[in-house]
Structure 1
Amino acid sequence: MRARGITRTVELPDAAPLHILRGVDLDVHVGDHLSIMGRSGSGKSTLLNILGLLDAPTDGDLEFDGVPLQRMSAGRRDRTRGRNVGFVFQQFNLLPRRTALENVEMPLMYDGGRGFWRRRALASEMLDRVGLGDRLQQTPERLSGGEQQRVAIARALVRSPRLILADEPTGALDVDTGATIMDLLDDIATQAGAALITITHDPHVAARAQRAFRLADGVLHETVPVLEPAASAPAAAGAGA
């Protein structure tokens, strides 16, 4: 993917236009692992939606496999996204009252090829790959937060996308579960040769990437992530009591 001068402006009825992105440049290559940090409201999710072909920029040039976005019809853009892009969201977005297997099958329902006919086998294989081979028939409310995120990852990857976009994938999880989820995402992306872009507030998650960026004032800057040293544990109150 190649992005040059990407802007996103929202016209407001009774105020000046809101400039969310102000000329973003980015190249994403096969096998890349990128992280993007930024304050809440800085436009990270907006940028992710544009890179994932869910939204179009106000201005600028975006290419996927050398094909400019401007030359893609809406149908071709949807097909390109469906075949090549997998999304992992913070809130999981699983369908209630549907089993883990049915949730992971869902993207394959729109596959016009062999994926449609093999959807149950492919979904089962992917759930087994993320460690949920024994939880296929469980609905989301019967799964832990970490298990729900694994189902969401399996759903995102069941069509073997070339680009994985993860929007705060550990934000709703505890530290240990979040680390396990990131290990899983890293491993699967590496094995598949897919590019992975992670949006995060967590510097530890950002530091896992090969290349790190910060979005500030609508502009994307490449950075070197620096982790703060862990705070010393406070002395226990009433020690020896």
Structure 2
Amino acid sequence: MEQQQVLIELEDVTRTVLLPNDEPLHILRGIDLTLRKGDHTAIVGRSGSGKSTLLNLLGLLDLPTGGTVRFLGRDARRLNDRARAKQRGASVGFVFQQFNLLPGRSALDNVMMPLLYANPEKFWRRRRLAAEMLDQVGLADRMDTVPNLLSGGEQQRVAIARALVRRPQLILADEPTGALDVETGQSVMRLLDAVAAETGAALVTITHDLNVARLARNHYRLDSGVLTEDPSLADSIQEALV
């Protein structure tokens, strides 16, 4: 079977910041990670393990202190801020624990928002594209509803539709079910996985929740800034569910 195209590569990536006393804080240490189109990868780690920092590097929101981040073969360090923002807007969709929806604006308006900065073809079709994506996540009858009149699960579906409306190649989900009950959270993750599979996107779920991680096909553990592939997570996840 033909192997999928490599989307993003991290080689020996480190991220260090200076504390107020000028002491270095090593957040990420020698990260190696390759993501291909169509992958669904879970990165499991406790609070403070460096998960959000890793997400920022994967999403081109930040640059590493050391090592190399390549997005579609291009070294992120060789892209200026504007070029990285353009690549991020075209290729990356973010789904956060906090839905970050615009209050007072309809679900349709929220999903159309990313298309205001799309190419002319998508810009002029933004209402139709947003409506189609809301229909795909099961909210065709809630398009004109504002966020405070939607349930938590419905708000998360709007956030997913907004993240996917530009058909990104990489979807980064940061604790996407943390604000939801278990049943709704699992339903949202299955939806996210199904939509990603349909579009051929790589899906990365960064979580501490084993119930969420079990839906991925590739499992990694992040501990004190060190990332290791951990196939045993799939077994421990199954044991936790028994």
* Interval containing the TM-score (normalised by the shorter chain): over 0.9
Deviation at 1:112, TM superposition (A): 3.1
Letter of the 1:69 partner, please give it.
A
Deviation at 1:68, TM superposition (A): 0.7
Deviation at 1:230, TM superposition (A): 4.5
Deviation at 1:15, TM superposition (A): 5.2
Tell me what 1:56 maps to.
63
Secondary structure in 2 matching 1:60: strand
The correspondence for 2:11, drawn from 1, 4, 28, is 4
Gaps of 5+ in 2: 1-7
**Which has more helix, going by share of residues?**
2
Letter of the 2:139 partner, please give it.
L
1:192 aligns with 2:199: yes
The correspondence for 2:49, drawn from 42, 59, 73, is 42
The correspondence for 2:151, drawn from 129, 139, 144, is 144
Deviations for 1:47-96, whole angstroms, at most 9, x for unmatched residues? 00110001111111010111111211211111111111000000111111
CA distance in 1, matches of 2:72, 2:193: 23
Gaps of 5+ in 1: 232-241
CA distance in 2, matches of 1:43, 1:113: 38
Does structure 1 conserve the Cα–Cα contact (< 8 Å) formed by 2:186 and 2:211? no
CA distance in 2, matches of 1:201, 1:70: 30
Secondary structure in 2 matching 1:77: helix
CA distance in 1, matches of 2:79, 2:134: 33
Tell me what 2:124 maps to.
117
Q: TM-score, normalised by structure 2?
A: 0.93
Secondary structure in 2 matching 1:23: strand
- Aligned residues with identical type, % of pairs: 61
Tell me what 2:229 maps to.
222
Secondary structure in 2 matching 1:134: helix
Does structure 1 conserve the Cα–Cα contact (< 8 Å) formed by 2:190 and 2:215? no
Letter of the 2:184 partner, please give it.
T
Tell me what 1:87 maps to.
94
1:25 aligns with 2:32: yes
1:66 aligns with 2:73: yes
Secondary structure in 2 matching 1:82: helix
Tell me what 2:217 maps to.
210
CA distance in 2, matches of 1:229, 1:39: 17
Tell me what 2:4 maps to.
none
Deviation at 1:187, TM superposition (A): 0.4
Secondary structure in 1 matching 2:189: helix
The two structures, once aligned, show a CA RMSD in angstroms of 1.1
Q: How many residues align?
A: 231
Secondary structure in 1 matching 2:187: helix
**Bigger Cα Rg:** 1
Letter of the 1:213 partner, please give it.
Y
Tell me what 1:235 maps to.
none
